[in-house]
Amino acid sequence: MDYNILIGGSAGQGVDTVGTFVEKALKRMGYYVFSNKDYMSRIRGGHNFTLVRFSDNPLCAHKDDVDVIIALNEETVRVHREKLTPNGKVVCDVAFGKEDDKNLNLPLKEAAKNAGNPKVMGSAAVGATLKLFGIQTAKLEEFLNEVYDGEILAANLKAVEEGYKMVDTIFQTTPPPGEDKHILINGNEAVALGTVAAGCTFYSAYPMTPATGIMSYLAKLQEDANIVVEQAEDEIAAIIMALGASYGGVRAMTGSSGGGFALMVEAMGFAGIGEIPLVVAEVQRPGPATGLPTRTEQADLKFIINCSQGEFPLMVIAIRDVQDAFYQTTRAFNLAEKYQMPVVIVSDQYLADYYQTVEPFDFSKVTIDRQLAGEEAINSDGVYRRYSLTENGISPRIIPGKIENQLVFVDSDEHDEEGHITESAQVRVEMVNKRMKKLEELKKELQEPVKVGEEKGKTLLVAWGSTYGPLKEATERLVSEGISVTSLIFGDIWPLPEKEFIELAKTAEKIVNIEGNATGQLKDIIRQQTGVNCVQSILKYDGRAFSSQELYNRIKGEVL
């Protein structure tokens, strides 16, 4: 069983609210849910829609075919009608529904009016939709009781009841696989929870879609989670605040999207030369400049890897789904402090905003490893050298003010072992070598890409980040048809883990990169680091994410 519901209308009509009603009702029934949003960069008007997919099996991507359209305006019917499956139906009001065997022209507005509030038409539509699938409304009513009260609650409940009476069941559903034991969470929220679990106590940022959700969610948690959330005047201030907090000894993080991250790059270099641990979330949207603020793309990868002037160690982790978002965020803090370097978590609007039912995060799996030194860091001459030359490039780090009579110098100029400014050619070389040694150490604990499909397929597909879910579904479908395919989806991406890829590349007949950008940025990095060339690319840069169906069709049509 695998159904897809589309809720469409203009901004301000309640598309998001109605989508939430559907998500919550299905999730609380015990079904697996995957929902994603397509919205325009405006407060009112335009055309927005939410897709809510549900199944009795785990879901990791959206799909394009739609079984039911909840149309809050006429435009929704016109734009999406062609997506309906052969048995698909449109739930709409009689005022704009044309006579059509696909349309269920229902008195939704009248039902809302009779319920006492014309604004609850969407609830009547949800009631009708649940009935189409033969799903009881008890869990929806339970949710409504939690979020509303008084007349608003009564109107919504009445509208759901009226809508439920308007139609008959059409679709066959199987019982949910079990009780509701999962959480429904999106990528930004998962990053925020990972931040809390990692023991971060300071987050500073300036609002920028689609990264804002991390700050908003942390702000809701700040009292319970004991974290300070600061909205800075701009991204430059945000990252400098985070660096100051980290230098002072607390775990700190900042986040933004491409344009905001562009303002942070000078400070990224400061983190590099000052060896200040820092975690940065870069939630991509299509650029350049303002680009498409509410859409998705994977086009900032090379920019992130090459951010700021000069050369310094940096780690980039592309998160793949909401589970990965939580655990990789906690890992990023430990790596940033162990190697005293900036670690960038790369996400995108698709992953930031889609909701997925997953197993609850296991906080017992999270370790907090501060890697801070104590008095053993003081040399025999009684002097603490913040940038002492060591075999692995990692110097003992103490918290300023914690050890009496010891100073912790920091400077954006080149410096000696104590932190004093220098222009010595010898010291310059020693310090560059010391910092870059960290990358060699880091490479020993890189995580290889996730492998899906055959152990060694004739066709090797490579991708990164949020393409994981759609590619996983597409690959499994291809393999089920007897097609020899293996997919590697990179998470750790800089430095690039090479072992698994090189091993599979030796036997693959064709290597194809799949990315949400116009130039194949991962392909270039792979060629630069391994000398192996991807012979073909499947790229998408229209501001929308790949669906599993789209990838399946393009792989079969363009590659196989």
CATH label of the domain that carries residue 242: 3.40.50.970
Tell me which residue of 84, 132, 521, 176 sits closest to 318, measured CA to CA: 521
User: What is the 8-class DSSP label of residue 102?
Assistant: T
Tell me if 405 is assigned to some domain. Answer: yes
pLDDT at 500: 98
Query: How far does CA 539 lie from the centroid of its chain?
Result: 19
pTM of the predicted model as reported, rounded to 2 decimal places: 0.96
Q: Which of 365, 384, 406 is the last residue of a domain?
A: 365
Q: Which of 365, 400, 420 is the last residue of a domain?
A: 365
Same domain, yes or no, for 43 and 97?
yes
Give the 3-state secondary structure of 382-395: CCECCCCCCCCCCC
Tell me if 318 is assigned to some domain. Answer: yes
Reading the chain (560 residues) residue by residue, the pLDDT tens digits are 999 999 999 988 899 999 999 999 999 999 999 999 999 998 777 899 999 999 999 999 999 999 999 999 999 999 999 999 999 999 999 987 677 889 999 999 999 999 999 999 999 999 999 999 999 999 999 999 999 999 999 999 999 999 999 999 999 999 998 889 999 999 999 999 999 999 999 999 999 999 999 999 999 999 999 999 999 999 999 999 999 999 999 999 999 999 999 999 999 999 999 999 999 999 999 999 999 999 999 999 999 999 999 999 999 999 999 999 999 999 999 999 999 999 999 999 999 999 999 999 999 999 999 999 999 999 999 999 999 999 999 999 999 999 999 999 999 999 999 999 999 999 999 999 999 999 999 999 999 999 999 999 999 999 999 999 999 999 999 999 999 999 999 999 999 999 999 999 999 999 999 999 999 999 999 999 999 999 999 999 999 999 999 999 999 999 99
Tell me if 193 is assigned to some domain. Answer: yes
How far lies 413's CA from each of 118, 246, 247, 416, 460, in Å?
64, 19, 16, 10, 46
Where in the sequence is the domain holding 388, given as residue range(s)?
372-445
Which H/E stretch holds residue 109?
helix 108-115
If one counts the domains in the chain, the total is: 4
- β-sheet bridge partners, residue 71: 8
Same domain, yes or no, for 406 and 328?
no
Same domain, yes or no, for 312 and 417?
no
Tell me if 172 is assigned to some domain. Answer: no
How far lies 273's CA from each of 372, 416, 478, in Å?
19, 11, 47
The residue count for the chain? 560
CATH code of the domain in which 479 resides: 3.40.50.920
| Cα torsion angle, 497, 501, 506, 512, sign | negative
Same domain, yes or no, for 43 and 149?
yes
Same domain, yes or no, for 191 and 303?
yes
Inter-residue contact 109 to 72 (CB < 8 Å)? no
pLDDT at 12: 84
Q: How far apart are CA 59 and CA 203, in angstroms?
A: 32
Question: Is the omega angle on the peptide bond into residue 210 within 30 degrees of 0, that is, cis?
Answer: yes
Same domain, yes or no, for 242 and 387?
no
535 backbone φψ class: left, alpha, beta (φ>0; ψ -120 to 50)? alpha
The DSSP string of 413-481 is S-B-TTS-B---HHHHHHHHHHHHHHHHHHHTTPPPPEEEE-TT-SEEEEEEGGGHHHHHHHHHHHHHT
How far lies 477's CA from each of 54, 249, 261, 324, 489, in Å?
18, 49, 37, 23, 17
CB count, 10 Å around CB of 558?
11
CATH code of the domain in which 114 resides: 3.40.920.10
Same domain, yes or no, for 55 and 19?
yes
Q: Which of 407, 427, 445 is the last residue of a domain?
A: 445
Tell me if 527 is assigned to some domain. Answer: yes
pLDDT at 433: 98
Inter-residue contact 542 to 291 (CB < 8 Å)? no
Q: How far apart are CA 450 and CA 150, in angstroms?
A: 50
Tell me if 434 is assigned to some domain. Answer: yes
Tell me if 171 is assigned to some domain. Answer: no
User: What is the 8-class DSSP label of residue 537?
Assistant: E
Tell me if 176 is assigned to some domain. Answer: no
Same domain, yes or no, for 403 and 429?
yes
pLDDT at 97: 64
Same domain, yes or no, for 101 and 192?
no
Q: How far apart are CA 464 and CA 211, in angstroms?
A: 19
Same domain, yes or no, for 334 and 409?
no
Map residue 519 onto helix, strand or coil: coil
Same domain, yes or no, for 438 and 496?
no
Same domain, yes or no, for 155 and 284?
no
